[in-house]
Amino acid sequence: MRKKSIVVLMIAMLLTSVLFAQATAEKEEKISIGFSQVLLDSPFYVALMDQAEKTAEEMGVEFIYLDAQSNIQKQNNDILDLVNRGIDALIINPVDPDGVKPALERARQAGIPIIAVDRPVNDKVDSFVGRENYAMGKIVGELAVELLGGKGKAQGKILELQGDAGGSVMMARRDGFHEAVDAEKGIVVVQSPYCEYIRSKAVSATQDLAQAHPDIDLIYGHNDDMALGGLQVMEQLRKKVFVVGVDGLMEAVKAIVDGRYNGTAMNDPAVLGRLAVETAIKLVNGEKVPEYIDGGTNLIDKNNAAKFYNAANVFAVM
């Protein structure tokens, strides 16, 4: 009887060892993705990160993210930290398209595939997941021209609330918008200091510029969060102006439905977050991916805002 108990115990111990070995192997084989995010002070970047993390969890992937806080030195250090942790793929939303090159070179030396998301980098990456920010700026600029009287007849002063200094997204949204409005001799554009895509900074900038330019007819924000900050100031001053932005923030969509806001270009961050993680996994598994993956866009205005409005979402869903 005692021998039988010993045999049973030995079998149980053997099974435990096998299961432990299997669990250890599975843990070691689990893909690890590192995400260096430009900052997390904006609803857009939070939504992008949340969806990336959710997608990684659904696909059984380890997900590590670090907030660069708009500091290029911190972002380079964050990426080196992720490389040292042994990640299998790197997703980056760069603070600066050039300043991040040193850390990306270290990732390449380690054989880690690199995916840029939302903002491109001026360096070699395996794939860029984003949108044509120039096109988004342009379609909003075309709407601004229509709101101010139409092609060849548009008249008015525009307050442009700018994103970040030197940012590729900022420059593309600025240049696309100006392609449309600069063709109109009757339009004058006043540009704000850089507001970093943050509403509170846009509020301060609008308060200052509204005093110097009491004849503002339209506000264009490089994102909806800033444009809503500008709208807030104008409503406090009891001044009626047109307001347009970019991103499809649901608060802006609701304001369009309510007649307080005039248009936004869709930029669903959840799509970008999901595509970035899916692309990273494909690269780790040796699959080929396109160099550029377009997340798509669309104009939301008074004609279709009700269709896109859903209070359960932070951004309009593509």
Q: Is 316 inside a domain boundary?
A: no
Q: Do residues 116 and 152 both lie within one domain?
A: no
Q: Do residues 60 and 120 both lie within one domain?
A: yes
Q: Do residues 198 and 149 both lie within one domain?
A: yes
Q: Is 317 inside a domain boundary?
A: no
Which pLDDT belongs to residue 30?
A: 87
Per-residue pLDDT reduced to its tens digit, 263-295: 999 999 999 999 999 999 999 999 999 999 999
Q: Do residues 138 and 257 both lie within one domain?
A: yes
Q: Do residues 150 and 255 both lie within one domain?
A: yes
- In angstroms, the CA 276 to CA 254 distance is 28
Residue 204's Cα: distance from chain center in Å?
23
Average pLDDT over residues 12-32: 55
Q: Cβ distance 252 to 261 under 8 Å?
A: yes
Average pLDDT over residues 64-89: 96
Higher pLDDT, 193 or 8: 193
pTM listed for this prediction: 0.77
What would the two tokens of residue 46 be?
């939070």
Higher pLDDT, 253 or 169: 253
Q: Cβ distance 100 to 121 under 8 Å?
A: yes
Average pLDDT over residues 186-214: 97
Average pLDDT over residues 183-200: 97
Q: Is 251 inside a domain boundary?
A: yes
Q: Do residues 304 and 159 both lie within one domain?
A: yes
Which pLDDT belongs to residue 29?
A: 72
Percent of the chain with pLDDT over 70: 91
| Closest-CA residue to 159 (of 126, 135, 181, 127) | 181
Whether residue 307 has pLDDT greater than 80: yes
Which pLDDT belongs to residue 13?
A: 46
CATH classification at residue 224: 3.40.50.2300
Q: Do residues 155 and 257 both lie within one domain?
A: yes
Residue with tokens 């660069």, as numbered in its chain: 68
**Residue 174, domain extent:** 133-266+300-308
Which pLDDT belongs to residue 4?
A: 52
Average pLDDT, the chain: 92
Whether residue 19 has pLDDT greater than 70: no
Q: Is 202 inside a domain boundary?
A: yes
Q: pLDDT band at 25, cuts 50/70/90?
A: very low
- In angstroms, the CA 248 to CA 150 distance is 23
Q: Is 315 inside a domain boundary?
A: no
Average pLDDT over residues 116-144: 95
Query: Residue 133: which residues within 8 A CB-CB, separation 6 or more?
Result: 168, 169, 172, 173, 176, 246
Q: Do residues 53 and 150 both lie within one domain?
A: no
Which pLDDT belongs to residue 228?
A: 98
State the total domains in the chain.
2
Bridge-partner residues for 161, per DSSP? 221
Whether residue 12 has pLDDT greater than 90: no
What would the two tokens of residue 73 be?
């030195």
H or E stretch covering 243: strand 242-247
- In angstroms, the CA 61 to CA 280 distance is 10
Whether residue 28 has pLDDT greater than 80: no
Q: What is the DSSP string of 1-27?
A: -HHHHHHHHHHHHHHHHHHHHHHHHHH
Q: Do residues 139 and 244 both lie within one domain?
A: yes
Q: Do residues 104 and 142 both lie within one domain?
A: no
Whether residue 9 has pLDDT greater than 80: no
Q: Do residues 156 and 228 both lie within one domain?
A: yes
Average pLDDT over residues 200-222: 97
Q: Do residues 150 and 249 both lie within one domain?
A: yes
Q: Cβ distance 219 to 227 under 8 Å?
A: yes
Q: pLDDT band at 167, cuts 50/70/90?
A: confident
Q: Is 16 inside a domain boundary?
A: no
Torsion angle of C-alpha atoms 297, 244, 160, 39, degrees rounded to 10: -50
Q: Is 15 inside a domain boundary?
A: no
Whether residue 24 has pLDDT greater than 80: no
Per-residue pLDDT reduced to its tens digit, 232-272: 999 999 999 999 999 999 999 999 999 999 999 999 999 99
